[in-house]
Amino acid sequence: MSDARPNAAPAASLDEAILSLRARRETSDLRLEAELSGLSVLHLARRAQALGRLGPCDVDRLVQGVVRLVDALPGTRGDRA
């Protein structure tokens, strides 16, 4: 018997967060480092979930954390510290 977990479909909130970050990038409302790291983390979460190594609750918490972090950082040069 194999202990491999079945592949899970990506969480809707995960896909929505990825689309949201991409849309913010298009409007220049996103810091470059937030774009790169945020999208990277979300794509890694999608992969880990597909492999069955990250559950839906973990994905949701991760998405919330990434979105909060990106929201906390100003997207315009004038507001940056």
Q: What is the 3-state secondary structure (H, E, C) of the chain?
A: CCCCCCCCCCCHHHHHHHHHHHHHHHCCCCCHHHHHHHHHHHHHHHHHHHCCCCCHHHHHHHHHHHHHHHHHCCCCHHHCC
What is the per-residue pLDDT across 10-47, written as a single tens digit (0 to 9) for each? Answer: 557 999 999 999 888 888 788 888 889 999 999 999 99
The full set of domain ranges for the chain reads 12-72
pTM over 0.85: no
> At CA 70, angle to CA 65 and CA 71, rounded to 5?
95
How high does pLDDT run on average in the chain? 82
